[in-house]
Amino acid sequence: MKKLTTTIRRGLHGQLHVPGDKSISHRSIIFGAISSGVTEVNNFLPSEDCLTTIQAFRDMGVVIERSSDHVRVHGTPNGLKLPRHPLNMGNSGTTTRLLLGLLSGQQFTTELFGDASLSRRPMRRVTEPLSQAGARFQVGEKGTLPITVFGQRNLKTLNYRLPVASAQVKSALILAALQTCGESTIIEKLQTRDHTERMLRAFGGEIYQHGRTIQVMGKPQLTGQNVTVPGDMSSAAFFLTAAALLPGSEVTLKNVGLNPTRTGFLDVLKRMGASVDVLNEKKQVEPSGDLRVRHAHLKAIHLSQEEIPSVIDELPLVALLATQAKGTTTITGAEELRVKETDRIAVVAEELTKLGARIEELPDGLIIHGQTALNPQMSDRVDTHGDHRIGMMLAVAALLCDNSLYLENEAAINISYPGFFDDLKQLCEEGTAER
């Protein structure tokens, strides 16, 4: 159990480099592994989820050297090797789904398993479209892990309209399509993060996008690259939220990824009336820039389906912001939140209610009534429920409380941000130091 910092009087101050982007870190290992030559990755995110991806590829014969946040991947373009034991996916949905796509076209049979949370998450959304292309799986009745993948060398090209807005599913299909002869077409329900498409192009693949239609050419010659991972917008979002909420704050987050499919949270902050400036923008494969945020008075907004994918992982923070905003905020069309590391609709409502927030659950979202002072009500305990993003959201919520608060199952935060509490402390201490 972790005692959370409360009673921040002067807000957050200073500047910080948040760790590398989780989605891009995973993909740098995957593309490095299937390309010829060496891929050098800088600012890799050494969190539990991304280390799961590294371990899985090492288990399949890929030589990967890592020193802190620098990774060197020695590509094996002629195919991965049969692992000696089932592959452990830990808590990582991204590793699992992307590997289901990649392994469906390899030359061996292997089994994937995960922890209790991952073993509840839906996998048929990936195995069904892949099966239409000739892939073979053994999936349990509930459509969850463990799954056996019977790799097939003769996968057919894909032609598939996605019924869910999911970058993981889209990426799995792209990775399968790369192993087929010819052109595959994937149509998204809504545009989701496009890190796979950008990285594939940078490694020499052919992939085209017209609106929500994606065309991928099979059997490309991919070549290892130098990848510099920008800071993770989803990690920056915790400090953006804290600084927006706490009077007196001014924080600058350096070199954060600004891929337009990931910046929905900045739009939400601005619409709520927050003061956010983008500085030193760099236009590159994955654009990045510095984000400066100051405290401001916030107002309620409505968020609907089209906007959800670009802010999907930040929705727990939108709920927290909304508790302090003037008016009633509604989030709809976000049913995907129910199948994340936890049911984030239920867990956000449960945990923020413990602090006195007025929140109603919808089947596909939340209604949050604003400007409620947060403080522990019946108990001084809140819980991550094993979900990293819930844990960090609650640590930010604690900064608004006067009374002590303790976080249970705090180790979950290592899934995406092992140094989170140190970084938060740094910004809080710069706020309390004589200025």
**β 70-74/87-88 pair status:** unpaired
- Alpha-carbon gap, residue 57 to 40, rounded angstroms: 15
**Tokens found for residue 386:** 């094993």
Q: Respond yes or no: is residue 21 known to be catalytic.
A: no
Q: Which amino acid is it at 86?
A: P
Is 156 annotated in a binding site? The answer is no
- Give the residue with the Cβ less far from ligand S3P, 118 or 300: 118
Is 168 a binding residue for ligand S3P by CB under 6 A? The answer is: yes
- Give the residue with the Cβ less far from ligand S3P, 212 or 294: 212
- Alpha-carbon gap, residue 258 to 281, rounded angstroms: 8
Residues 347/390, Cβ–Cβ less than 8 Å: yes
Is 180 a binding residue for ligand S3P by CB under 6 A? The answer is: no
- Give the residue with the Cβ less far from ligand S3P, 207 or 428: 207
**Tokens found for residue 53:** 């991806």
Find the radius of gyration of the CA atoms of the chain: 21
* x-or-dash string of contact with ligand S3P, 126-165, rule CB under 6 A: ----------------------------------------
Residues 129/90, Cβ–Cβ less than 8 Å: no
Is 314 a binding residue for ligand S3P by CB under 6 A? The answer is: no
Query: Which entry of 49, 194, 313, 387 is annotated as an active-site residue?
Result: 313
Residues 252/42, Cβ–Cβ less than 8 Å: no
* x-or-dash string of contact with ligand S3P, 23-62, rule CB under 6 A: x---------------------------------------
Is 312 a binding residue for ligand S3P by CB under 6 A? The answer is: yes
211 burial type by CB count under 10 A (0-12 exposed, 13-18 middle, 19+ buried): exposed
Q: Is 278 helix (H, G, I), strand (E, B) or coil?
A: strand
SS3 content of the chain, % helix, strand, coil (to 5): 35, 25, 40
Which of the residues 318 through 357 are near ligand S3P (CB under 6 A)? 336
Q: Which of 18, 41, 50, 167 binds ligand S3P (CB under 6 A)?
A: 167
Q: Name 2's bridge partners.
A: 407
Q: Which of 117, 171, 252, 329 binds ligand S3P (CB under 6 A)?
A: 171
- Alpha-carbon gap, residue 428 to 14, rounded angstroms: 9
- Give the residue with the Cβ less far from ligand S3P, 214 or 246: 214
The piece of 166-174, 256-264, 299-307, 392-400 that touches ligand S3P (CB under 6 A) is: 166-174
**Tokens found for residue 30:** 């995957």
Is 166 a binding residue for ligand S3P by CB under 6 A? The answer is: yes
Is 412 a binding residue for ligand S3P by CB under 6 A? The answer is: no
- Alpha-carbon gap, residue 40 to 73, rounded angstroms: 7
- Give the residue with the Cβ less far from ligand S3P, 193 or 385: 193
Spatial CA neighbour of 290 closest among 226, 248, 240 = 240
Q: Which of 5, 35, 94, 179 binds ligand S3P (CB under 6 A)?
A: 94
Is 166 annotated in a binding site? The answer is yes
Show binding-site residues for 3-phosphoshikimate. 22-23, 27, 166, 168, 313, 340
Show binding-site residues for phosphoenolpyruvate. 22, 93, 121, 168, 344, 389
Active-site positions read 313
Q: By the criterion CB under 6 A, which residues form the site for ligand S3P?
A: 23, 94, 166-168, 171, 193, 312-313, 336
